[in-house]
């Protein structure tokens, strides 16, 4: 709006200036009107362009955020997780795949709105403990990913048990406590991320098949 008004005033000032060369105009038009319209037009146009650039920048920032942040849980998404791990300098590292146990039954019994609340609660609790260069993200559905820049498996074991205990602190409608299963895989020397993820996913499957509410470490 400011740009349109500015351009209109600027055009009026320029038009008056051109007419001044062609016809005799009142003194106040040639002395005051031209300069006033031209100057105010420049100011309004400049301010309008400034506002437009601020708006475009805000849209750009929002779109950039939406590309890397999960809309529901507000933690990083799968795209960012893969990009972060692939650019990580620490090697070998450890990948965790965390899956909420019996999540479909939670949605079926209590409704998808309760399921969404559970996802957000768990994501917030977990995201707070992935500190320093560690990374946490929602991979999709009720599945989350974790990246730990370490090869010390004793620390990883303690961390996984902490994740399981944190899940227990979430109460599902005062009926039962939440549980998760975790698949753990350590990167082999120069092993690509896709293979590490596959091994972690296989370990998750074993954890699910052997009772849930536990973690399983993939063999090298």
Catalytic residue check, 66: no
Q: How far is CA 45 from CA 11, 32, 48, 159, 209, in A?
A: 11, 20, 5, 58, 67
DSSP secondary structure code for residue 212 in this structure: S
Residues 89, 142, 143, 216: which is the catalytic one? 142
109: helix, strand or coil: helix
Sequence-distant (6+) residues with CB within 8 A of 143 are 97, 98, 99, 100
Distance CA 220, CA 198 (A): 12
Nearest-CA neighbor of 200 among 143, 155, 158? 143
Q: Name the residues annotated as catalytic.
A: 142
């Amino acid at each position: 709006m400011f740009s349109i008004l500015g351009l209109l005033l600027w055009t009026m000032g320029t038009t008056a200036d051109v007419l001044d060369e062609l016809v005799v105009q009142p003194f106040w038009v040639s002395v005051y009107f031209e300069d006033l319209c031209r100057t105010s037009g420049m100011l309004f146009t400049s301010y309008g362009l400034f506002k437009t650039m601020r708006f475009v920048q805000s849209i750009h920032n929002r779109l950039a955020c939406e590309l890397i942040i999960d809309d529901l849980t507000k933690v990083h998404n799968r795209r960012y997780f893969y990009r972060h791990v692939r650019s990580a300098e620490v090697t070998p590292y450890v990948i965790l795949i965390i899956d909420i146990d019996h999540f479909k039954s939670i949605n079926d019994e209590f409704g998808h709105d309760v399921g969404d609340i559970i996802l957000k609660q768990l994501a917030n609790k977990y995201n707070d403990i992935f500190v320093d260069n560690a990374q946490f993200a929602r991979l999709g559905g009720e599945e989350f990913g974790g990246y730990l820049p370490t090869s010390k498996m004793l620390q990883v074991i303690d961390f996984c048990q902490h994740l399981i205990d944190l899940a227990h602190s979430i109460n599902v409608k005062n009926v039962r406590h939440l549980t998760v299963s975790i698949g753990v895989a350590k990167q082999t020397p120069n092993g690509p991320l896709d293979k590490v993820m596959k091994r972690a996913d296989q370990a998750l499957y074993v954890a699910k098949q052997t009772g849930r509410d536990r973690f399983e470490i993939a063999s090298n």
